């Protein structure tokens, strides 16, 4: 988008959207007083101009031109405004297409098909659809802005997972699982500290972090190592890499650091915090005389646009002897693509990655997010036969600095032996 041509196209699209939506606002406000119309028009064009100027700032300036917090919220507000316009445009297009069909029908088949108005005090279909579009767009915009307040609204979700083959010694073991920290997005350290204290307060026997500690650069953890290094557990804290940890989405070198060195630095940060980074390997966990395998692999995605660095064959080798196996794998698409077909004795897989798109609905009996059209398993518990997958919707956020419906989550999993329940 930073190319002159790409930037020009984006700005033209934004201006066309501005004009198209404005025509609808102008149409539905024709009966309002002149002062009200002047206020509405001025307010609309002021926001539109701010959005365009803001986008130009992002295109033609560096990341240090504006303070991080201002830059984050400005960009998110611009996107929210544009998406709201697109939502409104859907309704306006429906009306325009309807009127076009009606006009063609009138010219070709009828002498008069003026059916667009209702009798009495009713309103025309065009005005109704325009109002509906404006209401939908405004509601969508307001919802996204409201979502800014939810990004640190951490929730704890507790779940008991029963297994027939869980060794008795592990009955009742508590796993605290979180994912997708994205420390480079944080702007409120105290809020993050509160979330970490919630993790600590659960007193898990094991803590598992399933990837994406940073957005791109290891240096993003500079101000947060003293927060996350407080996460401890009697049986250990275990972690793996997610797609963002590899620095795939920025141009290297940065400040003299290469992409390869950045990954090494990030691995050191895991170690310095006391986290056991699992790199295509497995370890033995022992409790009350029983043993299970904990397997951790690097990012492995079935989606072409995400990296596939993990080596499950290498990680699994030697784990066959354990009666129960837990896998840490960042991307949940790995479960259906490789884990279930090839490793049917992997009992529990813990993933993250999707964030629940940070937008959706999660209420008892109903769960929805646009991300479900890209990921079959995107949030919560999934079961196929004796195998289980839990997808954590993330602790942090990226891109949009907020959450609507899908809140940041700390998952507390209690493993249960069915025979001892």
Tens of pLDDT, residues 32-76: 899 999 999 999 999 999 999 998 888 888 777 888 888 888 889
Residues 196-206 pLDDT 10s:
999 999 999 99
Determine the average pLDDT of the residues in 116-142: 75
Residue spans in the chain of domains classed CATH 3.60.21.10? 152-420
pLDDT at 418: 93
Look at residue 214 and give its three-state secondary structure.
Answer: coil
Q: What pTM, to 2 d.p., does this model score?
A: 0.88
pLDDT at 367: 95
Helices (H), 253-376: 259-272, 312-316, 333-334, 340-342
pLDDT at 247: 97
Determine the average pLDDT of the residues in 158-163: 98
Our CA dihedral for 138, 140, 142, 148, rounded to 10 degrees, sits at -160
Fold for domain 152-420?
Purple Acid Phosphatase; chain A, domain 2 (3.60.21)
Percent pLDDT > 70 in the chain is 95
DSSP 342-359: H-TT--EEEE--SGGGGB
Residues 366-389 pLDDT 10s:
999 999 999 999 999 999 999 999
Mean pLDDT score of the chain: 92
Whether the pLDDT of residue 112 is over 60: the answer is no
Residues 89-102 pLDDT 10s:
999 999 889 888 88
Residue 198 near residue 204 (C-beta atoms within 8 A): no
Residues 9-30 pLDDT 10s:
989 999 999 999 999 899 888 8
Residue 31, beta-bridge partner list: none
* Degrees, nearest 5: CA angle 153-157-160: 175
Rounded Cα distance, 295 and 335, in Å:
13
Rounded Cα distance, 384 and 365, in Å:
20
Work out the pLDDT band at 110, boundaries 50, 70, 90: low
**Residue 166 backbone dihedrals phi, psi, to 5 degrees:** -70, 125
pLDDT at 111: 56
pLDDT at 176: 98
Residues 321-346 pLDDT 10s:
999 999 999 999 999 999 999 999 99
Rounded Cα distance, 353 and 333, in Å:
10
Whether the pLDDT of residue 122 is over 50: the answer is no
């Amino acid at each position: 988008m930073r190319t002159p041509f790409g930037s020009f196209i984006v700005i033209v699209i934004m201006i066309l959207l501005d004009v198209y939506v404005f025509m609808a606002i102008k149409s539905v406000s024709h009966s309002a007083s002149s002062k009200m119309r002047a206020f509405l028009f001025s307010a609309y064009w002021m926001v539109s101009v701010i959005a365009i100027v803001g986008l130009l700032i992002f295109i033609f300036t560096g990341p240090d031109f504006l303070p991080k917090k201002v830059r984050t919220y400005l960009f998110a507000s611009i996107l929210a405004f544009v998406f709201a316009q697109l939502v409104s445009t859907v309704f306006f297009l429906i009306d325009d297409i309807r009127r076009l069909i009606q006009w063609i029908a009138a010219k070709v088949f009828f002498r008069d098909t003026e059916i667009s108005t209702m009798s009495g005090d009713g309103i025309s279909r065009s005005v109704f659809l325009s109002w509906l579009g404006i209401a939908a767009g405004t509601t969508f915009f307001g919802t996204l802005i409201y979502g800014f307040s939810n990004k640190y609204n951490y929730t704890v979700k507790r779940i008991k997972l029963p297994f027939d083959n869980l060794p008795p010694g592990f009955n009742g073991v508590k796993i605290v699982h979180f994912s997708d920290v994205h420390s480079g997005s944080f702007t409120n350290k105290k809020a993050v500290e509160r979330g970490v204290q919630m993790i600590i307060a659960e007193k898990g026997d094991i803590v598992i972090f399933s990837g994406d500690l940073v957005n791109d650069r290891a240096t993003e953890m500079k101000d947060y190592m003293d927060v996350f290094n407080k996460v401890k557990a009697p049986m250990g804290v275990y972690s793996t890499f997610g797609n963002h940890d590899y620095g795939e989405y920025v141009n290297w070198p940065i400040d003299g650091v290469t992409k390869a060195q950045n990954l090494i630095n990030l691995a050191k940060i895991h170690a310095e915090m006391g986290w056991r980074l699992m790199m295509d390997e497995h370890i033995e966990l022992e409790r009350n005389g029983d043993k299970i395998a904990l397997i951790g692999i690097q990012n492995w995605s079935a989606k072409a646009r995400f990296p596939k660095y993990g080596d499950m064959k290498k990680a699994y080798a030697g784990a066959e002897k354990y009666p129960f196996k837990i896998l840490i794998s960042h991307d949940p698409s790995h479960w259906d693509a490789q884990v279930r077909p090839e490793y049917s004795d992997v009992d529990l897989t813990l993933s993250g990655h999707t964030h629940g798109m940070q937008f959706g609905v999660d209420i008892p009996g109903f769960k929805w997010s646009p991300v479900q059209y890209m990921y079959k398993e995107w949030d919560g518990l999934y079961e196929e036969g004796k195998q289980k997958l839990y997808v954590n919707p993330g602790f942090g956020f990226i891109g949009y600095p907020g959450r609507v419906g899908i809140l940041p989550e700390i998952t507390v999993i209690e493993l249960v032996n069915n025979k001892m329940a």
